[in-house]
Structure 1
Amino acid sequence: MAAHSADGYDVFLSHRSPDKPIVERLAEKLVEEAQLSPFLDRWHLIPGEPWQESLEQALNRSRCVAVFVGPSGVNSWENEEMRAALSKRVQENRNSFRVIPVLLPGADQEAKDKLPAFLLRFTWVDFSAGIDDPVAFSRLVAGIRGQAPGRTGVSKLSAASPYLRKSVRQIMADVLRRDGIELAAVPLGAGATIRTLISRCQLQYPDLAADEVARKLMAARAIAYEEKYAQRSPQEDERYRAADEWEAELNTLLRHVGMRDLARCRTINVGIGNGLENPFFYKDFKQLVGVDLAAGALAKAAQAIPRLDPRCSEAENLHGVSSHAFDLYLSLRTYQSSFFDVGESLFQACRVLAGGGRAVISIPYVYVDQGRLLNGLLRPGGHDLDPDLPYEIADTVRRGLQTLGFEQIGLHTGLFEIYVHGTKTS
């Protein structure tokens, strides 16, 4: 057990009983890996002495407090500890006394929504991917020490990772070179959409017909997605480390947004790929239209998912899909794709949904690499993962839904992806 210095504790760990094993493991990591002195009731309360007074003394002798929010939420006594910490920060005007909210695996947006609004102002540490998540742990340590995490949270994929195979842009460049278009000569910034790419190529190659340039680029993107994703296997998908939990999570989320009777639900799944996901509830939908721009992958999805109505189209136009025809627009792990146009795709989501229909869109934020859980999305042209990029994309989706007039917009951090959901106004 860790001893504390004469000056007190580095951090007071506030939690409720069902979360104790997880919090104790994190306390051990703080001692063993960061050489910090946390206060944990199980370690420091002396049997036979009044525990309320001991907790109050420990809180007063701590430099900060970490409030852990798990699946079971916050109980009454932990709520008192949390409010005492917040009161201490305000009354003493101690900017050096920090209150650090910590999201444990399995906690959801509903648990966060029940916390005091004042607590929500503070920067969270998110252990949704597991307590061994190195990015979250480095952020927790930085918060306890009163430091900015900086780039210490940036991880790199190993050379063996399947995500470092030939990129979409490289595949497109090879295809377009045969058509007289040199993609490397076209200046593009991060986050360029297919529309931006087409416009830049039309400027770069004025001797080619504009519609011909657009057709070739769209075809090259389809070929690239076909090559990367048509043969994708469960071993290459993080969710298959906990497939049952992921499917239950998605089913629970659909119920949360109001999709309780799937037998009456007309659904469009945009970016369905080769049907690898095939959640257990797909069979229950009244109607399921699967859209993907890779024809070969879509054919595999049609074989894998009974009663699937496959449509080969881009998310940005949903060609041939009727307007106001669906109750649920579902798109899993597609909106982060290379040259993807979030704004145009959200407009199409609005178009095809009936009044009161729901949109549920997910952005991945976890990689599994040689047994390690790594947070972030891959930066173009390198091995670095950007831990903030998934949240930036999710926020772009959220703001896009707001612009289109969606209501009841929310975000939910799941085991492996961030979900954004909203309801189209009638």
Structure 2
Amino acid sequence: MDAAIAAKAAVAATSSRDRKTRVFISYSRKDSVFSNRLVDALNARGFEAYLDKKDILPGEPWQERLEALILSADAIGIVISPDLIASHVCAWEAERTESLQKKLLPLVYRPVADADLPPRLARLNYILLRDGDDFDAGLSALAVALDTDIAWIRQHTRIGELAQRWDGAGRPASGG
């Protein structure tokens, strides 16, 4: 019995390591051509990127399915444009992403005045994918952001700094 449990745990660990990072792309329909190009490029780089247009069937309750797509994503890329900022659905997607504490990555495709950006997007560092920008460089920056667990890196740094202080203090024993 214990061997069977260990085997299942090993398979689960392997499959979670082998699973591609899932990326949901939030966009305005007016930016469909660019968003499709972005999804194709991410998939070519080994991510599992998807859009609502291809993953919600006709007649399906769209908002429930949209929420499921966001929930199943590891990260959400939001294609910033004036049309996205005007979209109530896109605003809901960003709000839902934030409430689920998902990684939210603003991807600037068509510039928007800073004053027009919602605070949840304005506070984040952007990835520039505008027409005049180097698409491959922006895509590389996005890939790095998707593969980087910022919270883990910050925690690792904090623990390393504490270890250095402890070592520098002659490794005193904790009281207790």
TM-score range, shorter chain: 0.5 to 0.7
Given that 1:69 and 1:101 are in contact with CA atoms closer than 8 Å, whether structure 2 keeps it comes out as yes
Gaps of 5+ in 2: 1-14, 151-176
Q: Does 1:108 align with 2:98?
A: no
Separation in 1 of the partners of 2:100 and 2:71? Answer: 9
Q: Alpha carbon RMSD of aligned pairs, Å?
A: 2.4
Letter in 2 for 1:30: L
Separation in 1 of the partners of 2:20 and 2:67? Answer: 13
Q: Does 1:82 align with 2:94?
A: yes
Q: If each structure's strand is expressed as a fraction of its own residues, which one has the higher value?
A: 1
Separation in 1 of the partners of 2:105 and 2:59? Answer: 30
Given that 2:80 and 2:112 are in contact with CA atoms closer than 8 Å, whether structure 1 keeps it comes out as no
Given that 1:12 and 1:38 are in contact with CA atoms closer than 8 Å, whether structure 2 keeps it comes out as yes
- What displacement does 1:72 show? 2.6
Q: If each structure's helix is expressed as a fraction of its own residues, which one has the higher value?
A: 2
Separation in 1 of the partners of 2:53 and 2:84? Answer: 20
Where does 1:259-270 land on structure 2 (aligned, <5 Å)? none
1:343-390 deviation line (CA, Å, top 9, x unaligned): xxxxxxxxxxxxxxxxxxxxxxxxxxxxxxxxxxxxxxxxxxxxxxxx
Separation in 2 of the partners of 1:143 and 1:13? Answer: 14
Aligned length: 133
- What displacement does 1:39 show? 2.2
Separation in 2 of the partners of 1:46 and 1:132? Answer: 34
Where does 1:14-413 land on structure 2 (aligned, <5 Å)? 14-32=26-44, 34-74=45-85, 75-89=87-101, 97-104=102-109, 107-110=110-113, 112-130=114-132, 133-146=135-148
SS in 2 for 1:72: helix
Change (3 A) 1:132 1:41: farther
Change (3 A) 1:128 1:68: same
- What displacement does 1:76 show? 0.9
Letter in 2 for 1:101: P
- What displacement does 1:146 show? 2.0
Given that 1:9 and 1:39 are in contact with CA atoms closer than 8 Å, whether structure 2 keeps it comes out as no
1:385-412 deviation line (CA, Å, top 9, x unaligned): xxxxxxxxxxxxxxxxxxxxxxxxxxxx
SS in 1 for 2:59: coil
Separation in 2 of the partners of 1:58 and 1:73? Answer: 18
| TM-score, normalisation: structure 2 | 0.67
Given that 1:65 and 1:99 are in contact with CA atoms closer than 8 Å, whether structure 2 keeps it comes out as yes
Separation in 2 of the partners of 1:64 and 1:126? Answer: 17
SS in 2 for 1:118: helix
1:48-86 deviation line (CA, Å, top 9, x unaligned): 211111110111111111111124342111111011111
* Percent identical residues: 23
Separation in 1 of the partners of 2:58 and 2:50? Answer: 16
- What displacement does 1:143 show? 1.4
SS in 2 for 1:65: strand
Change (3 A) 1:79 1:147: same
Letter in 2 for 1:98: K
Separation in 1 of the partners of 2:145 and 2:64? Answer: 26
Change (3 A) 1:46 1:127: same
Given that 1:10 and 1:37 are in contact with CA atoms closer than 8 Å, whether structure 2 keeps it comes out as yes
SS in 1 for 2:100: helix
> Taking CA–CA contacts closer than 8 Å with sequence separation of 6 or more, which of the two structures ends up with the larger relative contact order?
2
Given that 2:20 and 2:47 are in contact with CA atoms closer than 8 Å, whether structure 1 keeps it comes out as no
Separation in 2 of the partners of 1:71 and 1:118? Answer: 16
Change (3 A) 1:132 1:47: farther
SS in 2 for 1:100: strand
Given that 1:10 and 1:144 are in contact with CA atoms closer than 8 Å, whether structure 2 keeps it comes out as no
Gaps of 5+ in 1: 90-96, 149-426
- What displacement does 1:121 show? 1.9
Given that 2:129 and 2:135 are in contact with CA atoms closer than 8 Å, whether structure 1 keeps it comes out as yes
Separation in 2 of the partners of 1:130 and 1:20? Answer: 18
Q: Match of 2:160?
A: none
